[in-house]
């Protein structure tokens, strides 16, 4: 058996300060709230229940998303490789009176039993994990029958990105990306806001959909998972076009800075 990977659980003060502030911004709160509500709506449709859920927030950072789930009475378990962020998450949860379990750990070595979680969240994480396949295998392992895996990550199709402070970085050739990855962890940490684990992978929805299918998960992209009621008349018309015409869907993915997937454990339908 191979030895477990050793991770640096520390944090650069510049990154900690940036993340502590951005994690409670209106934009972050709004995004995580919309994601939570989408997941609850999809799970209610698949499972026919809206009772308390067991939620694993992997890459939880300062715990903002964890708190949003805990405030609705769900049992939440947050995990992150960054020890100072976990400490911040724990103190914020304690101040809010929310009983969230936070741990320092790796997404490739989840400390949870098989089929233990109803919801597994991987927000803006997969691109930072060197062994992304193992990360997804672990997420699928702990996901209960009928559970939902949510992930958001980098989009290789779209030139707009927020990982490196460089224009159109997602379209750079592989060797050029490797060059800037080396710079970001040596002499130019400001390129990635001083994070110890910069983005090293770029995905398409289609690539991840096919991989998750091999793990027994059925994937919806952001367009199939969208709540039509939240759109204007023109927005609903555009959404119908995207859903019905493959080329329109592909163009929509090219124009979207991130990949978003809602993947259901298909054993729910057994």
Q: Is 239 exposed, middle or buried (0-12, 13-18, 19+ CB in 10 A)?
A: middle
So what's the pLDDT on residue 21?
Answer: 83
Beta bridge partners of 117: 143
Task: Identify the CA nearest to 39 among candidates 129, 101, 123, 155.
Answer: 123
Q: Which residues contact 183 (CB under 8 A, 6 or more apart)?
A: 191
Structure tokens at 53: 């859920």
CATH topology of domain 13-269: Rossmann fold (3.40.50)
d(C-alpha 87, C-alpha 137), whole Å: 27
Reduced to 3 states (helix: H, G, I; strand: E, B; else coil), residue 257 is coil
Residue located via tokens 């390129």? 191
So what's the pLDDT on residue 5?
Answer: 52
DSSP 269: G
pLDDT per residue, tens digit, the chain (270 aa), is: 333 455 555 666 777 777 678 888 999 999 999 999 999 999 998 887 667 999 999 999 999 999 999 999 999 999 999 999 999 999 999 999 999 999 999 999 999 999 999 999 999 999 999 999 999 999 999 999 999 999 999 999 999 999 999 999 999 999 999 999 999 999 999 999 888 889 999 999 999 999 999 999 999 999 999 999 999 999 999 999 999 999 999 999 999 999 999 999 987 443
So what's the pLDDT on residue 8?
Answer: 58
d(C-alpha 245, C-alpha 238), whole Å: 11
So what's the pLDDT on residue 2?
Answer: 39
Going by DSSP bridges, is the β-strand pair 258-265/143-154 parallel, antiparallel, or unpaired? Answer: antiparallel
Confirm if 266 and 148 have CB atoms less than 8 A apart: no
So what's the pLDDT on residue 7?
Answer: 56
CA R_g for the chain: 18
d(C-alpha 235, C-alpha 263), whole Å: 24
């Amino acid at each position: 058996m191979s030895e477990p990977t050793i991770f640096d659980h520390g944090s650069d003060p510049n990154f900690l300060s940036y993340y502590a502030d951005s994690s409670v911004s209106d934009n972050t709160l709004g995004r995580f709230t919309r994601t939570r509500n989408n997941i609850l709506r999809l799970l209610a449709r698949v499972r026919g229940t809206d009772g308390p859920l067991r939620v694993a927030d992997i890459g939880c950072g300062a715990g903002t998303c964890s708190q949003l789930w805990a405030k609705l009475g769900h049992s939440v378990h947050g995990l992150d490789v960054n020890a100072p962020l976990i400490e911040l998450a724990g103190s914020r949860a304690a101040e809010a009176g929310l009983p969230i379990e936070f741990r320092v750990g790796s997404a490739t070595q989840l400390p949870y039993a098989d089929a233990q979680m109803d919801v597994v969240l991987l927000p803006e994480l997969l691109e930072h994990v060197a062994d992304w396949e193992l990360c997804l295998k672990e997420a699928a392992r702990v996901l209960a029958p009928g559970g939902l895996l949510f992930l958001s990550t980098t989009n290789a199709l779209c030139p707009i990105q927020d990982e490196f402070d460089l224009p159109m970085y997602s379209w750079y050739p592989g060797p050029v990306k490797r060059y800037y990855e080396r710079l970001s962890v040596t002499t130019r940490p400001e390129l990635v806001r001083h994070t110890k684990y910069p983005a090293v992978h770029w995905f398409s929805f289609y690539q991840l959909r096919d991989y998750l299918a091999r793990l027994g998960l059925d994937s919806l992209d952001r367009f199939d998972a969208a709540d039509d009621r939240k759109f204007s008349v023109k927005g609903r018309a555009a959404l119908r076009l995207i859903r019905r015409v493959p080329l329109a869907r592909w163009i929509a993915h090219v124009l979207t800075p991130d990949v978003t997937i809602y993947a259901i454990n298909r054993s729910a339908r057994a």
